[in-house]
Chain A
Amino acid sequence: MTTQTAIFRIDSVTKSYGGVKALDAVTLEAGVNEYLSLLGPSGSGKTTLLRVIAGFEVPDSGRVFFQGRDITNLPAHERGIGFVFQNFALFPHLTVRQNIAFGMANGAVLVSSEETAHRTQTIIDMVGLTGMEDRGVDQISGGQRQRVALARTLVMQPKLVLLDEPLGALDANLRGRMRNELRAIRERMGVTFLHVTGSETEALAMGDSVVVLDRGRIIQRGAPDDVYSTPASPDVAHFLNRFNLFEGTLSGGTFTGPFGSVVAAKVTRAPRDVYAIRYDRLRVSPLSASATGPALKATYIANEYLGSSVMNFFETADGKVVEVEHHLSLGAPETFEPRQDYLLTWAPEQAIVFGREGK
């Protein structure tokens, strides 16, 4: 991606709060008409990053560029960057229509009242709020408030919209529907979305590319399937919440962990030695079975029914919980006896090995 097509770029931005670095020399850019999701645990600095781009926080060092212009010192209300808050932050004393028209009626750029009315009505129809125009914002449902927040931002026709966990306040059912709508609306408007989320499924489902943030640093950026199948570090694998991680030592291409020694075909360079196996790559056999590959003895504890799959929980001798996912499309799940020992096996080439020896 070149600077010409980048809609925004932040250049080694650092921001500390009382000595703690919320952002540590973060550099990030996004292209025109792109959906970027930003994944990170709470406290990883993802909200701070959005607030720096929006202009609510001034970075300690580093620059922020928007449409090729340095906006680091430009006040928030002159930036023309949209921001959708997690709690929606609707104006409680105004109606749906007044909320949506607020930016055009009070903004830095004057918009004629006819155009304001026209644009307001167009966006109201687009986000599906027709008939709600004159309701107060406390008289509509959570999903409708989300739409008002989105419409209020999009009606200003920003080139970049920052969304701070926009679906966090919605229930699961609504969240799924709004995901699709959010994507559809973005495609229709042709704007760049920077969507912050703490949910790995949301990040993978929504973004054209996923940026993983941890302790104020970007630790991976890539297409969702790349991030999912080849996490760049044990931390990324951990945030994706899809991997069993085993600590151990890697030496001479052999990883020694709680399951014995396994030859590691390919090693990803990382500051510590970790062996990662996806939940759905593990197979459960009776203790008596003979394993051809690596095997780990573990006690079955319980399972959790997830609709399309079943998650089985096992405990190893050293007290570590190992999760095994069984997709129901692959047939009915086996039943296991609680407190019984089983053998967990996997194909070694499906594991991801991180280590200091990696390239």
Chain B
Amino acid sequence: MSDVTVAAKRQGPSWLILPGIVWMALFMVVPIAMICYVSFWTQTTFNISSTPTLASWKQFFSSDTYTGALWTTVRIWLIVLATTFIIGYPTALFVGLFVKSKTLSTVLLVVCVIPFWTSFLIRVLAWRPMLGKEGAINIILLKLHIISQPIEVLLFTELSVIIGMSQIYCVFMVGPIAFMLGRIDRNIIEAARDLGAGFGRIFWKIIFPLSLPGVVVGAIFVSVMVLGEFATSGALSGRKVNLLGNIIVTQVGSLKWAMASVTGVILTVFMGMVIAGFLRIVDLKQEL
């Protein structure tokens, strides 16, 4: 091999990263910098100028509408995170660990993904005829004489947003956890049994710690998607539940770029903190 080809081989990997850098710069670094910059612009009713001002930031933190949206976002995020985990972990445990056949566990995971073959909007809107005052759930409960009056709290409330989001994002929790559980060497579990540990002990001391990277990845997926949500809350709450995402949509819609940018910066910073927090729990570099 000549010196030239050796040098070319060494050079190879470093220029391969170039498209990635260009992509990230164009579509991540520049937009984020732009949003930060615009958030300090001066906004008047029909105009926007680049004169720096803190007005939009002050307005955000002094208005109940905006801070309220921030707390609603945090609350719904935590509740959805908890429900997807509570529903998702046992499902993943079944699919990833208790189903012995690899084929069957793959089939079950695909079944979890089937709802994604329909469009996002249809999946969200399908909850309306389910949860409505004269929806499927109320009709069934009335027919079974479990209730005498239709439950009205099911639709166009925070509850319906939580139900909708939990259903849509649950699979993002199941997938990574099932993957981690599937990678656990069955001999390890048998070894723990052989050393005298019952199922509860094995779960808490072996299975759960080994699945934790999957939980963290799943939680990051769910968090990123829920925190940026606006469609589910828009479609299922009848505009009663306003998340930061909804604020951005309305502000952009009324050409209030500065306010939309402030909200965007706050949302991005919060997401960054959430992800950093999750990554502190496990060292993903080691696990994946």
Where the two chains meet, the residues of A that have a C-beta atom closer than 8 Å to any C-beta of B are 54-56, 75-83, 85, 87, 89-93, 102-103, 106-109, 152-153, 156
| A77 and chain B: residue at smallest CB distance | B193
Write the chain B residue with the least CB distance to A75. Answer: B193
Closest residue of B by beta carbon distance from A102: B195
Please tell me if the beta carbons of A92 and B210 are within 8 angstroms of each other in the complex: yes
Please measure, in the bound complex, the distance between the C-alpha atom of A82 and the C-alpha atom of B191, giving whole angstroms: 9
Query: Most chain-B Cβ atoms within 10 A of its Cβ — which of A81, A107, A156?
Result: A107
CB pair B191–A83 under 8 Å, yes or no, is: yes
- Contact flag A103-B195 (CB < 8 Å), given A89-B187, A89-B188, A92-B188: yes
Q: 13 A–B contact pairs at CB < 8 A?
A: A54-B190, A56-B193, A75-B193, A77-B194, A77-B197, A85-B190, A87-B185, A89-B188, A102-B195, A106-B192, A106-B205, A152-B195, A153-B194
B196 is an interface residue with CB less than 8 A from chain A: yes
Contact of A77 among B196, B205, B206 (CB under 8 A): B196
Residues on A with C-beta less than 8 A from B12 are none
- Contact of B194 (CB < 8 Å), options: A82, A90, A109: A82
Contact B194 A54 (CB under 8 A): yes
Given contacts A91-B206, A92-B210, A93-B209, contact A107 B197 (CB under 8 A): yes
Of all chain A residues, which has the CB nearest B197? A106
Please tell me which one of the listed residues B188, B201, B209, B210 contacts residue A106 in the complex, with CB atoms under 8 A apart: B201
Q: Could you say which residues of chain B place their CB within 8 Å of the CB of A90? A: 188, 191
In the complex, what distance in Å separates the CA atom of A102 from the CA atom of B188?
12
Using Cβ atoms and an 8 Å threshold, which residues of chain A touch B196? 77-78, 80, 103, 106-109, 156
Contact A83 B194 (CB under 8 A): yes
A156 to B188, CA, bound (A): 17
| Inter-chain CB contacts under 8 Å: number | 70
CB-defined contacts of A92 to chain B, threshold 8 Å: 188, 210
**Interface of chain B, main secondary structure:** helix
The interface residues of chain A lying within 8 Å CB-to-CB of B253 are none
Residue of A nearest to B186 (CB): A89
Instruction: Return chain B residues, CB-CB under 8 Å to A82.
Output: 194
Shortest distance from the beta carbon of A75 to any chain B beta carbon, whole Å: 8
CB under 8 Å from chain A, chain B span 163-216: 185, 187-188, 190-198, 201-202, 205-206, 209-210
CA A75 to CA B190, docked complex, whole Å: 11
Cβ–Cβ < 8 Å partners of A87 in chain B: 185, 187
Interface-centre pick from B193, B194, B196, B206 (highest chain A CB count, 10 A) = B194
How far apart are the CA atoms of A90 and B189 in the complex, in Å?
10
Q: Decide if B210 touches A93 in the complex (CB within 8 Å).
A: yes
In this complex, what residue of A is CB-closest to B198?
A: A77
Contacts A92-B188, A92-B210, A102-B205; A108 near B198 (Cβ below 8 A)? yes
A100-B210 Cα distance, complex, nearest whole Å:
18
Contacts of B188 on A, CB cut-off 8 Å? 89-92
Residues of chain B with a CB closer than 8 A to A107's CB: 195-197
Give the docked Cα–Cα distance between A76 and B210 (Å).
Answer: 22
**Contacts beyond the supplied A91-B188, A103-B196, A107-B195: 15 A-B pairs with Cβ under 8 Å:** A54-B194, A56-B190, A77-B197, A80-B196, A82-B194, A89-B188, A90-B188, A91-B191, A103-B195, A106-B192, A106-B195, A106-B201, A106-B205, A107-B197, A153-B194
Contacting A at CB under 8 A, from B200-258, are: 201-202, 205-206, 209-210
List, in ascending order, chain B residues with CB within 8 A of A78's CB.
196
Determine the chain B residues whose CB is within 8 A of the CB of A81 once the complex forms. 194
Per-residue CB contact flags for chain B residues 248-276 toward chain A (1 = under 8 Å, else 0) read 00000000000000000000000000000
Residues of B within 8 A of A75 (CB): 193
Chain A residues within an 8 Å CB radius of B198: 77, 108
Tell me the minimal C-beta distance from B190 to chain A in angstroms.
5
**Complex Cα–Cα for A196 and B227 (A):** 56
**A93 and B185 alpha carbons, distance in the complex (Å):** 13
Task: Please provide the 10 A-B residue pairs with the shortest distance between their CB atoms, ordered closest to farther.
Answer: A107-B196, A103-B195, A89-B187, A89-B191, A106-B197, A108-B196, A83-B194, A106-B201, A76-B193, A77-B193
Q: How close is B206's CB to chain A, nearest CB, in angstroms?
A: 6
Q: Within the complex, what minimum Cβ distance (angstroms) separates A295 from chain B?
A: 52
The CA-CA distance from A56 to B202 in the complex, in Å, is: 15
Which A residues lie within 8 Å of B187 (CB)? 85, 87, 89
Q: How far is the CA of A102 from the CA of B201 in the complex (A)?
A: 10
Instruction: Report Cα–Cα, A89/B191, bound state, in Å.
Output: 7
Q: A102 CB to closest chain B CB, in angstroms?
A: 6
Minimum CB–CB distance for B282 against chain A, Å: 10
Complex CA distance for A82 and B193, rounded to whole angstroms: 10
A153 to B191, CA, bound (A): 9
Complex CA distance for A102 and B197, rounded to whole angstroms: 9
Complex Cα spacing A81 to B191, Å: 11
Q: Give the CA-CA distance A83 to B189 in the complex, in Å.
A: 12
For residue A192, give the distance in angstroms from its CB to the closest CB of chain B: 16
Q: Which of B187, B193, B195 has the most CB of A within 10 A?
A: B195
What is the minimal beta-carbon distance from A275 to any residue of chain B, in angstroms? Answer: 43
The residue in chain A whose Cβ has the minimal distance to the Cβ of B201 is: A106
The answer for the CA separation of A14 and B73 in the assembled complex, in Å, is: 61
User: Distance (Å) between the CB of A329 and the closest chain B CB?
Assistant: 43
Residues of the B chain whose Cβ atoms lie less than 8 Å from the Cβ of A106: 192, 195-197, 201-202, 205
A91 with B192: CB separation less than 8 A: yes
Chain B residue nearest to A107 (CB atoms) is: B196
By a CB distance below 8 angstroms, the chain B residues around A83 are 190-191, 194
